[in-house]
């Protein structure tokens, strides 16, 4: 269903009043206002504050139960299987099942059940399993998906779809919510596409993200001949809230059931408050999100769940003159994008230095934190600039942020 904007003037007045109230409610210097200007530079300026706490009603499917037959598996102690068949149990004691002479016969795919199979205890390594007839194998609990793994097909693969590009509605936490979805023009129901979940900045809209070509990732996907599916959700009010975790779950479940995506290549990104909800999701959705890029994120004034501290591939960008979502918030020892980088690097098993290299002069600096688990790289990009998702190096007219983001996402 396409939703039309009916009264631009009324909405603008409402947003202005909301923004004024937010400024009066929250302290100066909090990462709560986005300065983006026109849609090409991040959207209109709006002031906000802490995210409203909603009631979470996360939707999840039942666990699939068809155990797969791996077909002449080899046994390597200490490694979880990538699933012999659909979403069957991983090898006992962390034993991997490496697909042998022919595909396994398994139960329903994890995309149908909503939960991956249970891996054996003590797993830490990786192994590739044969694809089951009920769906491709998935990493067991506690396991790791290796780089460049074969695609894992969602339940919507191989089925004709009625889903079209445009603005849609979905019921989440007993509310009617909206989002925009962009499906490749030559959509192939047998091709597992990457899925990008792209969240807007404060006081903005899903249309603004669409108009920026989903943080400029869509043209890069087209140029690489690797079309993807893009989703731009709409917040309820100025800011992202606790209930938006459930919105992510519900949209992802719908997409998995009705379109063909690679369930191991679901990515998330967003700018400013969009970067903040991306960070928030990354703290407890590591089994759903393969990699995330926070563009000018912050770790405060946003709903944060209980963190699982599981690893996730993570990249972030921060302008060193950003006073909205700064590298360090004042004299804080916990607030600021610096501390996101430390947290992610630690969770990803990296050797986080006491001083993370940041921009000092010239072009932007992207620092790959050393020692990370190969499947969970951590990249910290800083530059000479303020609060923006459009940054050009000296002497260049090219925005390097989407280029670095695309390279980061496509290494998996």
Is residue 217 domain-shared with residue 310, that is, in the same domain? yes
Query: Which residue range(s) make up the domain with 382?
Result: 159-409
For residue 63, what is the DSSP state? P
Domain count, the chain: 2
CA distances from 100 to 70, 75, 203 (A): 7, 11, 53
59 found inside a domain: no
For residue 60, the tally of other CB atoms under 10 A from its CB is: 13
276 found inside a domain: yes
For residue range 156-205, list pLDDT tens digits in order.
Answer: 999 999 999 999 999 999 999 999 999 999 999 999 999 999 999 999 99
Residue 198, judged by CB atoms within 10 A of its CB (0-12, 13-18, 19+), counts as: buried
Block residue for tokens 């191989």: 158
Is residue 188 domain-shared with residue 115, that is, in the same domain? no
Is residue 237 domain-shared with residue 310, that is, in the same domain? yes
Residues of the chain with pLDDT below 50 are: 1-30, 32-142
Instruction: Look at residue 253 in the predicted model and tell me its pLDDT.
Output: 98
**For the residues of 227-277, what is the DSSP string, one character each?**
--EEEEE--SSSS--THHHHHHHHHHHHHHHHS-EEEEEEEEEEETHHHHH
Instruction: Look at residue 355 in the predicted model and tell me its pLDDT.
Output: 97
For residue range 240-286, list pLDDT tens digits in order.
Answer: 999 999 999 999 999 999 999 999 999 999 999 999 999 999 999 99
Instruction: Look at residue 134 in the predicted model and tell me its pLDDT.
Output: 39
28 found inside a domain: no
399 found inside a domain: yes
Instruction: Look at residue 57 in the predicted model and tell me its pLDDT.
Output: 36
Instruction: Look at residue 181 in the predicted model and tell me its pLDDT.
Output: 99
Is residue 138 domain-shared with residue 163, that is, in the same domain? no
Is residue 81 domain-shared with residue 222, that is, in the same domain? no
pTM, two decimal places: 0.72
Is residue 240 domain-shared with residue 272, that is, in the same domain? yes
2 found inside a domain: no
Is residue 264 domain-shared with residue 166, that is, in the same domain? yes
């Amino acid at each position: 269903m396409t939703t039309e904007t009916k009264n631009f003037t009324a909405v603008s007045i409402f947003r202005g009043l909301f923004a004024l109230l937010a400024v009066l409610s929250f302290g100066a210097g909090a990462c709560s206002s986005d300065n983006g200007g026109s849609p090409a530079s991040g959207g209109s300026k709006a002031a906000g504050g802490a995210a409203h706490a909603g009631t979470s009603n996360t939707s999840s499917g039942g666990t699939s139960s068809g155990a797969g037959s791996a077909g002449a598996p080899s046994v390597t102690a200490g490694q979880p299987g990538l699933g012999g068949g659909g979403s069957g149990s991983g090898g006992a004691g962390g034993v991997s099942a490496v697909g042998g002479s022919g595909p396994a016969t398994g139960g329903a795919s994890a995309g149908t059940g909503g939960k991956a199979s249970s891996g054996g205890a003590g797993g830490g390594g990786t192994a590739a399993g044969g694809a089951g007839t009920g769906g491709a194998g998935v990493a067991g609990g506690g396991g790791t998906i290796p780089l460049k793994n074969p695609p894992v097909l969602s339940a919507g693969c191989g089925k004709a779809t009625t889903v079209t590009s445009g603005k849609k509605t979905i019921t989440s936490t007993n509310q009617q919510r909206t989002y925009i979805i962009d499906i490749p023009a030559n959509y192939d129901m047998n091709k597992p596409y990457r899925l990008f979940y792209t969240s807007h900045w404060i006081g903005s809209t899903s249309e603004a993200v669409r108009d920026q070509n989903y943080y400029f990732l869509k043209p890069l996907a087209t140029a690489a001949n690797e079309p993807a599916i893009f989703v731009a959700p709409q917040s309820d009010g100025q800011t992202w809230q606790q209930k938006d975790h459930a919105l992510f779950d519900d949209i992802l479940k719908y997409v998995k059931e009705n379109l063909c995506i690679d369930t191991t290549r679901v990515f998330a990104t967003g700018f400013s408050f969009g970067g903040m909800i991306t960070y928030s999701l990354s703290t407890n959705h590591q089994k759903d999100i393969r990699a995330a890029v926070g563009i000018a994120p912050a770790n405060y004034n946003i709903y944060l769940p209980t963190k699982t501290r599981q690893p996730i591939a993570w990249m972030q960008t921060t302008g060193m003159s950003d006073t909205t979502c700064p590298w360090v918030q004042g004299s804080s020892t916990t607030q600021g994008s610096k501390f996101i980088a430390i947290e992610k690097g630690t969770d990803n098993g990296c050797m986080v230095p006491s001083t993370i290299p940041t921009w000092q002069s010239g072009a932007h600096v992207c620092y790959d934190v050393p020692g990370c688990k190969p499947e969970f790289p951590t990249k910290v990009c800083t530059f000479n600039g303020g609060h923006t998702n459009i940054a050009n190096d000296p002497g260049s007219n090219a925005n390097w942020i989407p280029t670095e983001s695309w390279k980061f996402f496509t290494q998996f």
